[in-house]
Chains A and B, each alone.
Chain A
Amino acid sequence: ILNVEQSPQSLHVQEGDSTNFTCSFPSSNFYALHWYRWETAKSPEALFVMTLNGDEKKKGRISATLNTKEGYSYLYIKGSQPEDSATYLCAFQKSGGSQGNLIFGKGTKLSVKP
């Protein structure tokens, strides 16, 4: 059974704080790692697709790193804002699997207080 773990489960920070959370995934048969941002009552929004060991990607104040050899990815948010409040999901894509078969973690729920 392939397991994707995210930590922490939830996080409460003040506006302006920087924060980070972790996604752990199997280090074998790696193909890609996806990060999504999911606000309540909306569609999950794709943030990053990461494929190479050592990848670093950035979108505004949000960035992510990838270590495929040890099976983890970090998501960083610099200077959190209330609009960053959402659940952040990571999903592992296995080599040899069908395109759609993403294996998701349970997510990290971030709350940013003004």
Chain B
Amino acid sequence: ETGVTQSPTHLIKTRGQQVTLRCSSQSGHNTVSWYQQALGQGPQFIFQYYREEENGRGNFPPRFSGLQFPNYSSELNVNALELDDSALYLCASSRRTEIRNEQYFGPGTRLTVT
């Protein structure tokens, strides 16, 4: 395993609600990226956090937001949930010394919006 953990494993929410997903990065890693994998698709980049600030964002609306904490763990928040937000959410941690570094993924949080 990669040493990256995510919680919860599964989550069911209702349309319009808000959700918070959590990620603990691997020891020694200071950068966390979040991805969304919808059914039948590859993972899509949501955003990345480095030194507690957003450092790059994919094509996702502002209702997707995040935080990174001093211990480098991270949260993904999604407001006003829509049915299309149902997906597997993956986080990945890496060291920012070399940008071609491997990213180490967690097992994901499966979000279902009804």
Interface residues of A (CB under 8 A from B): 4, 31-32, 34, 36, 41-46, 49, 51, 89, 91, 93, 97-107
Contact = CB atoms under 8 A, between A and B. Distances in A.
B58 A101 contact: yes
Interface of B: 1-2, 4, 31-33, 35, 40-45, 47-48, 50, 55-56, 58, 90, 92, 94, 96, 99-108
Given A100-B48, A101-B56, A49 B101 contact: yes
A34 B4 contact: no
B99 to A, nearest CB: 4
Contact of A103 (B4, B45, B47): B45
A104 B101 contact: no
Report the 4 A-B pairs with minimum CB-CB distance, sorted nearest first.
Answer: A98-B56, A100-B33, A104-B42, A100-B48
A43 B100 contact: no
Contact of A42 (B42, B47, B107): B107
Given A100-B33, A101-B58, A105-B42, A45 B2 contact: yes
A45 B90 CA distance: 12
Contacts of A107: 42
A4 B103 CA distance: 18
B102 A101 contact: no
Contacts of A32: 100
A45 B105 CA distance: 7
B78 to A, nearest CB: 18
A36 B42 CA distance: 12
B41 A97 contact: no
A51 B100 contact: yes
A37 to B, nearest CB: 11
15 contacts: A36-B105, A42-B1, A43-B108, A45-B105, A49-B100, A49-B102, A51-B100, A99-B33, A99-B48, A99-B50, A99-B56, A99-B99, A100-B92, A100-B94, A105-B42
